[in-house]
Amino acid sequence: MKPATISKTPDLRKDTERIDARTLCSYYLRTWRVPPSRPTWRPSPPMLLTDIQHLAAPDMRVVDSVIRRELHSEVVLVSQVAEYIIAGGGKRLRPLIHVLAARAVGYNGPHHPVLAAVVEFIHTATLLHDDVVDASDMRRGRKTANQMFGNPAAVLVGDFVYSRAFQMMVGIDSMRVMQVLADATNVIAEGEVLQLMNCRDPDVDEARYLQVIRYKTARLFEAATRLAAILAQATPAVETALADFGGHLGTAFQVIDDVLDYSGQVAETGKNLGDDLAEGKVTLPLIAVMRRGTPAQADLIRRVISDPDGDNSLADVLAAIHETGALDAARACAQAEASAAIACLAALPPGPYRDALEGLARAAVGRSN
């Protein structure tokens, strides 16, 4: 269906219910206005993250045991790197949304902890490879695996984690499951290449930026929630709604990640301020400055993207970001995606697990790490 067009001065309180989230994102980058809360954001207090984690705790304990069991290898270096990854913790958000979604649609079988671990393994493998490609030295507040063990070990253990994920999914004995995960893994790889092509290119706009997110990040969120519907043998309508929820949630999550790169604290985000800029990544805050700022501010951002080692400092970039309201614009885009995710949950039966999924969508745009 063709997305609705948006006028210069839309009535956001009425129109956000029918306007595509990505059309809204383009609008927010051009205007100083920050959107009001959409009607899909219910006025009652959302489920808190601690309550969500408590609800999912029994399932997540099983997921953790599966992760530890399946990452074991008789090859010493594989086990060392795997143990380092496990000890590093992480949000485990993708397996969390999978188990919550599975419970939300009534699944009570044995396979959701395994698929949750598979999704986490695919994510972990991409991080291992990402850190090598980006020459990253810090993740989650400590040295990356490539810094600890070297690039060859990080790449090869990433390959091990990928292949172990495929071994595990075969055990589910479902061609639909394998198709979804194989397609997702392939699209994620395309997203990595797209991001590489976008590096150091000041002509990247929000459409190209969002394409990378849809491929590289949102697709695995979408797979995690779609798999829950497949396990439960849900109707096609519910499967589509859950997949759309995951895609919108993943997009919102990544946009906020990119906001935090210019506003977060190292102790909370586990990464250095301005890492994306140093790696030549053109993210939404920079795009917003080029769309909303003065010619001088736009020129500054274009120069820094093209030549990050030039005379312009990170302080100059941060000043331009704050003066143009770029972070608020990017957050508004994330909120539009989170609101679209919440709207998808109407297809699910009411209950605590649906409430938990809504709570995660809200938390995705309100977090500081």
Domain spans of the chain? 20-29+47-356
Cβ atoms < 10 Å from Cβ of 358? 22
> Cβ distance 365 to 338 under 8 Å?
yes
Q: Kindly write down the DSSP assignment for every residue of 217-255, as one continuous string.
A: IIHHHHHHHHHHHHHTT--HHHHHHHHHHHHHHHHHHHH
What digits encode the pLDDT tens for the residues 147-190? 999 999 999 999 999 999 999 999 999 999 999 999 999 999 99
Distance CA 217, CA 226 (A): 15
Task: Describe the crossing of helices 206-213 and 236-260 by its angle, rounded to 10 degrees.
Answer: 120
Q: Positive or negative, the Cα torsion across 126, 127, 131, 134?
A: positive
Tokens of 87: 């000890």
CA 169 to chain centre: 22
CATH topology of domain 20-29+47-356: Farnesyl Diphosphate Synthase (1.10.600)
Tokens of 273: 């301020």
What digits encode the pLDDT tens for the residues 192-245? 999 999 999 999 999 999 999 999 999 999 999 999 999 999 999 999 999 999
Name the nearest CA neighbour of 334 among 241, 259, 264.
Answer: 259
Per-residue pLDDT of the chain (369 residues; tens, 9 = 90+): 333 333 343 333 334 444 466 666 765 666 544 444 443 444 445 788 899 999 999 999 999 999 999 999 999 999 899 888 887 777 899 999 999 999 999 999 999 999 999 999 999 999 999 888 888 888 777 888 999 999 999 999 999 999 999 999 999 999 999 999 999 999 999 999 999 999 999 999 999 999 999 999 999 999 999 999 999 999 999 999 999 999 999 999 999 999 999 986 655 555 667 788 888 899 999 999 999 999 999 999 999 999 867 666 888 999 999 999 999 999 999 999 999 999 999 999 999 999 999 999 999 998 877
Helices (H) and strands (E) in the chain, counts: 19, 2
Distance CA 16, CA 227 (A): 29
Name the nearest CA neighbour of 119 among 191, 16, 224, 210.
Answer: 224
Distance CA 26, CA 332 (A): 10
Distance CA 6, CA 281 (A): 29
Q: Taking phi first (over 0 means left), then psi (-120 to 50 degrees means alpha), and beta for anything else, what does residue 5 get? A: beta
Distance CA 198, CA 196 (A): 5
> Cβ distance 223 to 249 under 8 Å?
no
- Helix, strand, coil percentages in the chain from 3-state DSSP, rounded to 5: 70, 0, 30
> Cβ distance 63 to 120 under 8 Å?
yes
